[in-house]
Amino acid sequence: MANYERLLRVALGEAPADVVITGGLLVNVLTREIYPATVGICEDTIAYVTGAEDAAVAGAQVVDARGCWLTPGLIDAHMHIESTHATPQHFADAVLPRGVTCVAQDPHEMANVLGLEGVHAMRRAAVGLPLRVLTLASTCVPSVPGMETSGAEFGAAEIDALLDEADVIGLAEVMDFWGVIRQKPRVTEIVKVGRARGALMTGHIRQLGGRELNAYLAAGIDSDHEQLDAAGILARSRLGMTVEICCCQARDTIPAAVEAWRMGGPLDAVVFVTDDIPPQELISAGHLDQGVRRAIQLGMPAAEAVRAATLLPARRLRQYDLGLIAPGRKADILLIDDLNAFHVAATMVNGRWAARGGQMLEPSTSAYAMPESALHSVHVPRLSAEDFAVVGHGSRARARVLAQRGRELKERLLPVRAGQVVWQDQPDLALVSVWHRHGRTQDHASVLLEGCGLQRGALATTYAHDAHNLVVVGRDPGDMAAAANALREAGGGYAAVCGGQVLALAALPVAGILADRPVAEIAVEFDQFCAAAGDLGVSEQPLKLLTSLPLPVVPAFRPTDRGLVDVQRQAFIPAFEFLDEETTNQEAR
């Protein structure tokens, strides 16, 4: 916090500012006006904002901002740093040049791997960075209790403990919305902790409406980032919800937000968020800045678009000193050299320039060392081809086969020879094998997958929502074992193997989901993995195939370390039923 005495003297013009930015156009996200202004900064705080013609410009550093617009730094109200696969330090270096100065992270993935230790690691790794990192307490660890085994389980006690930390500002997306509405004990107790503490409680629902939506809101959870169209955005606003507009490419609701603005006028409870941004997208298209850019290009006035990524998220997050260029607020300021393209020329955080021209002025440093548990998180034995055999008795097996990447389930009768299901001669099949990797059980389960494109070899990852167990998809049991073993040795990541050779390895040695490397380097390795997967036949979204396949909250059938989950019924169904000769004959008749 700036020295109070000096701050006031700088404001009065009795002492020189540390930085004066003059000659630029201020984008006022409170009044939605754009006008010339001079901004004087003392330490981390804006001391004064005066007109363009301020005679008393005096500062250690005077910045000529002619040709530039000044906006507040962007604030991402809901996101997972882990989606970029970088540690907070390298994440910061990737987003600060994009104009993101504050994020409210939900360290949900680290929580699922390492529990409270994972949350604390993500908090502590952010201390001292030029990026402002706030944390929301991950509420759904695991996403669906009983259907998979993640590395940890959070109940009310964990959430209560997290809310004691000053930088933990509320509850992260309460994804178990059915649990809330149906008053299941675990999530109910968690929500009650939030209510009792008056905490911000953020949500995640799908197409909930009517009385069920009312019940979710009555519980006190009043935001969502799954609304996809303008009418829905307006309908939710009417109920007092904060609608989080996702601007990631996988789920871009910016056009809907622009349409809602056209229909309903000024946005009051809409905030732009990223949720998940993969490393390649961050490098190629940007972070929260891409949302502002797209909104402006679709016709939303710039001040309105910037407002939805600055002042409105600051209010939502109850950060009263952020989100506005005004005296007394934190000096988080962007210089924008093309407002319509929302091109960030320079980023200031806490009164210090962090980035210019798309580059960090200096790479961030962090004295924090990830805990030992994070560096040894892949607890699976060394595997062999035999571990990927589907063994059983009888002569045939009725296999329940995932189709359309889990959205459907089909049945196939397959021969059983020498006690193993023979599926490799069916060219459209691959085997999915999910191995618990957190050392809490010995569970692993396999199921066949139709139509993923894989022709040969194997792909594997340790980043698979939400439990982040080891997922191996393959045509060849030996390659599947090799891919698994490669990740076991690398400490996690993505691997592509064929003919016993590792074609690509994107190592994520921190908890099996992060790398302590620049995002750009991670993106290159991810591209290499995707290229290798394409060579093996999986040309369409190989990362998504692996990472979302086991998530037992997504329709309709999902393989986890515990078996094949019928998501609708929240029950296991056998992936293989072994039939003796008689049964097979009966069926044939």
**x/- contact string, 264-283, with a copy of itself (CB under 8 A)?**
xxx-xx--------------
Q: Exactly one of 217, 243, 374, 533 binds a copy of itself (CB under 8 A); which one?
A: 217
Helices (H) and strands (E) in the chain, counts: 19, 31
DSSP-based three-state secondary structure for 274: coil
Which residue, 140 or 234, has its beta carbon nearer to a copy of itself? 234
**Residue 375 makes contact with a copy of itself by CB under 8 A:** no
DSSP-based three-state secondary structure for 443: coil
If you search the block for the tokens 């007092």, which residue do you land on?
240
Residue 325's nearest CA partner among 17, 23, 20, 45 is: 45
116: left (phi over 0), alpha (psi -120 to 50) or beta: alpha
Distance CA 72, CA 49 (A): 13
Least spacing, CB of residue 231 vs a copy of itself, in Å: 13
**Residue 205 makes contact with a copy of itself by CB under 8 A:** no
**x/- contact string, 530-569, with a copy of itself (CB under 8 A)?**
----------------------------------------
**Residue 202 makes contact with a copy of itself by CB under 8 A:** no
Contact window for a copy of itself (CB under 8 A) among 27-35, 100-108, 454-462, 581-589: 27-35
Q: Which residues pair with 334 in a beta bridge?
A: 71, 347
**Residue 223 makes contact with a copy of itself by CB under 8 A:** no
Q: Exactly one of 68, 102, 162, 181 binds a copy of itself (CB under 8 A); which one?
A: 181
Least spacing, CB of residue 268 vs a copy of itself, in Å: 6
**Residue 13 makes contact with a copy of itself by CB under 8 A:** yes
**Residue 28 makes contact with a copy of itself by CB under 8 A:** yes
**Residue 238 makes contact with a copy of itself by CB under 8 A:** yes
Distance CA 262, CA 257 (A): 9
Terminal CA-CA length for the chain: 81
**Residue 11 makes contact with a copy of itself by CB under 8 A:** yes
Which residue, 8 or 163, has its beta carbon nearer to a copy of itself? 8
Least spacing, CB of residue 7 vs a copy of itself, in Å: 5
Distances (CA, A) of 235 to 180, 204, 240, 312, 509: 21, 16, 9, 19, 44
Least spacing, CB of residue 355 vs a copy of itself, in Å: 25
Least spacing, CB of residue 245 vs a copy of itself, in Å: 16
Nearby residues of 230 by Cβ (< 8 Å), 6 or more positions away:
256, 257, 259, 260, 262, 263
Which residue, 142 or 203, has its beta carbon nearer to a copy of itself? 203
**Residue 287 makes contact with a copy of itself by CB under 8 A:** no
Q: Exactly one of 57, 62, 161, 215 binds a copy of itself (CB under 8 A); which one?
A: 215
Distance CA 255, CA 291 (A): 10
Site for a copy of itself in 394-433 (CB under 8 A): none
Nearby residues of 541 by Cβ (< 8 Å), 6 or more positions away:
none
Least spacing, CB of residue 130 vs a copy of itself, in Å: 22
Instruction: Tell me whether strands 359-360 and 352-356 are parallel, antiparallel or unpaired.
Output: antiparallel
**Residue 306 makes contact with a copy of itself by CB under 8 A:** no
**Residue 49 makes contact with a copy of itself by CB under 8 A:** yes
Give the burial class of 555: count Cβ atoms within 10 A of its Cβ; 0-12 exposed, 13-18 middle, 19 or more buried. exposed
**Residue 330 makes contact with a copy of itself by CB under 8 A:** no
Which residue, 54 or 577, has its beta carbon nearer to a copy of itself? 54
**Residue 186 makes contact with a copy of itself by CB under 8 A:** no
Which residue, 318 or 382, has its beta carbon nearer to a copy of itself? 318
Nearby residues of 251 by Cβ (< 8 Å), 6 or more positions away:
228, 275
**Residue 367 makes contact with a copy of itself by CB under 8 A:** no
Q: Exactly one of 47, 230, 258, 503 binds a copy of itself (CB under 8 A); which one?
A: 47
Q: Which residues pair with 416 in a beta bridge?
A: 421
CA dihedral 492, 497, 500, 503 (to 10 degrees): -100
Instruction: Take residue 520 and report the two structure tokens written for it.
Output: 């750009």
The length of the chain, given as a count of residues: 589
Instruction: Take residue 452 and report the two structure tokens written for it.
Output: 């993923």
CB 485 within 8 A of CB 471: no
Distance CA 280, CA 476 (A): 29
Binding residues for a copy of itself, total number by CB under 8 A: 60
**Residue 33 makes contact with a copy of itself by CB under 8 A:** yes
DSSP-based three-state secondary structure for 391: strand
**Residue 239 makes contact with a copy of itself by CB under 8 A:** yes
Q: State the residues that interact with a copy of itself by CB under 8 A.
A: 1, 4-5, 7-8, 10-13, 28, 30-33, 42, 45-50, 56, 180-181, 183, 188, 191-192, 195, 198, 200, 210-212, 214-215, 217-220, 222, 234, 237-240, 264-266, 268-269, 315, 318, 320-321, 324, 326-329
